[in-house]
Structure 1
Amino acid sequence: MSCTCCQGQMIGLHHIGVRTTDLAKTQAFYTDVLGFEMFKRVSLPQPNGTATEIAFVRLGTLTLELIQPADLTQVEKETGMVQHVAIAVKGIDGIVEKLKAKGVAFRTEEPVNNEPLNAKLIFFTGAAGETLELFEDL
């Protein structure tokens, strides 16, 4: 039970942040290859006169914050604890074929049936080196 009056309420996932050293390349991967929509672009000025560049992209209810830090060395230093981002799909086999045609290399040749999860899934790597998963509930 949660109180919504004075203590606030956690209501769900807002977005997942993905760091990158090349925002344009990463944004193009998500929009042109995976079909996400870019809906917000922000430049956050830093005290040293540089700026952290951010683009928000979404697909259905999944929102990603693509972050290019002003100091690009921070990308590898602060990898965080996100192991992968799973994208819910319907018709995984057709999507895999479309993405292969666009040059996406998957970690396995075909989606794998995962009986314990009652799902079909496949992993690949995004433009910023992030691990992505296509996940279809069976």
Structure 2
Amino acid sequence: MSRISVFSAPFLLGFEGLEERADRLAKSADGYPPYNIERSITEDGTERFLISIAVAGFEPSELEVLAEDGQILVRGKQKDEPGREFLHRGIAARQFQRSFLLAEGMIVKDATLGHGLLVVAIERPNAPKIARRIEIRSV
């Protein structure tokens, strides 16, 4: 049985890659670590997004933020210290990977770590809408 997708509509051209990435994101979403996404608009019309990810206990060297192929990939991997003995371990040294899809024109500005939160700042500059007339040739 074939799957019907909104991206298979005949007037949506070139969105196959977006559909594949959205499927990949849906399969990998397990809820850890929790995150917030905030949106604001600056005075010049630039849209600004802040992704705050709860990463308490992680050092900067144990985190990685990659911006590639229209997405942000955040990875975290803590090292177990073999000499430590826990009587109770409620805070797991758990690795994670979180992905966020980016629309065209989005720019990842920076990432900061403080107070147990990794904050990734993204901007979409206010781009003017451009329309152009396409000349019709005879063949």
| Structure 1 and Structure 2 fold alike (TM over 0.5) | no
Rg: which structure is higher?
2
Q: TM-score, normalised by structure 1?
A: 0.26
